[in-house]
Amino acid sequence: MLEVKDLHVTVDGSEILKGLNLTVNPGEVHALMGPNGAGKSTLSAVIAGKDGYEVTSGEVLFEGKNLLEMEIEERALAGILLGFQYPVEIPGVKNIYLLKAALNAQRVARGEEEIPAPEFMKLVREQLSFMKMDGSFLQRAVNEGFSGGEKKRNEILQMLVLQPKLAMLDEIDSGLDIDAMKVVAEGINSLRNADRAILMVTHYQRLLEHIVPDRVHVLVDGRIAKSGGKELAHELEARGYEWVLEESAA
């Protein structure tokens, strides 16, 4: 589904990704781990199309299409959705309005009718209660005055409504207490199916206790230094990142 080949990316003149390779297949959950500054968030930002990242070489294919030539919204409409570490506030724009606009953009892109209001409300209310969110969330401005946990739940709510093919989650566990973590993890687990891939960027093993990955990658200095199964995460938790660094230097 997603193929990243020898990707080199610079930000403000300094190279952050230095030849990254990654293949993600449908149905798989990948965890991208690594020390701070290794380039974890850069990868998801480049895939989503954020400005300010210069791809100097390499390619990113999504279902065989060259992602790097696509506009931000085209990537989203193709089925890629990024859950933000720090979702931005949009004053005056109701959460429900954004959700509906996003869902309708998808439907129109697929050549479908816009969703009728009652059907939309039913869909949203179901997912809302699944995420243990109050109905008032919908009427509040997007992320405005949301607590850290509320913001993260809201990101997952969007995923549940928009049903992406590739869900990318950037440090979705940061700033969550244990109860919120469980709700968020349940939301993500409910997204798992044979057609969907999930790519999680995380710093800590604790998220992976709730969402068990198929593959774990360690990103060090702009490259994937080591890949393995879920047991790799435990090893990292126990031994830190140093040994991977040493191993890859050797």
Q: Which residue number, 82 or 133, has a Cβ lying nearer to other proteins?
A: 82
Alpha carbons 210 and 29: distance in angstroms, whole number: 12
Give the tokens for residue 129.
């209660």
DSSP character at residue 21: E
Instruction: Examine residue 88 and tell whether it contacts other proteins (CB under 8 A).
Output: yes
Q: ∠ CA 119-125-127 to the nearest 5 degrees?
A: 105
Alpha carbons 139 and 162: distance in angstroms, whole number: 19
In the list 18, 55, 97, 174, the residue contacting other proteins (rule: CB under 8 A) is 97
Cβ atoms of 42 and 85 within 8 Å: the answer is no
Tokens 């969703």 locate to: 115
Alpha carbons 111 and 105: distance in angstroms, whole number: 10
In the list 34, 49, 213, 222, the residue contacting other proteins (rule: CB under 8 A) is 49
Instruction: Examine residue 212 and tell whether it contacts other proteins (CB under 8 A).
Output: no
Instruction: Examine residue 134 and tell whether it contacts other proteins (CB under 8 A).
Output: no
Instruction: Examine residue 43 and tell whether it contacts other proteins (CB under 8 A).
Output: no
Instruction: Examine residue 102 and tell whether it contacts other proteins (CB under 8 A).
Output: yes
Q: Could you tell me which stretch among 14-22, 42-50, 115-123, 191-199 binds other proteins (CB under 8 A)? A: 42-50
Q: Which of 195, 194, 192 is nearest to 213 (CA)?
A: 192
**Per rule CB under 8 A, count of chain residues that contact other proteins:** 30
In the list 95, 158, 202, 205, the residue contacting other proteins (rule: CB under 8 A) is 158
Of 56-75, which residues contact other proteins (CB under 8 A)? Answer: 71-73, 75
Give the tokens for residue 7.
């990707």
Burial of 173 (0-12, 13-18, 19+ CB in 10 A): buried
Alpha carbons 199 and 184: distance in angstroms, whole number: 15
In the complex, the smallest distance separating the C-beta of residue 83 from other proteins, rounded to whole angstroms, is: 10
Q: Which residue number, 103 or 218, has a Cβ lying nearer to other proteins?
A: 103
In the list 91, 111, 116, 118, the residue contacting other proteins (rule: CB under 8 A) is 91
Binding site for other proteins (CB under 8 A): 48-51, 71-73, 75-77, 81-82, 84, 87-88, 90-93, 97-98, 101-102, 105-106, 109, 141-142, 158, 162
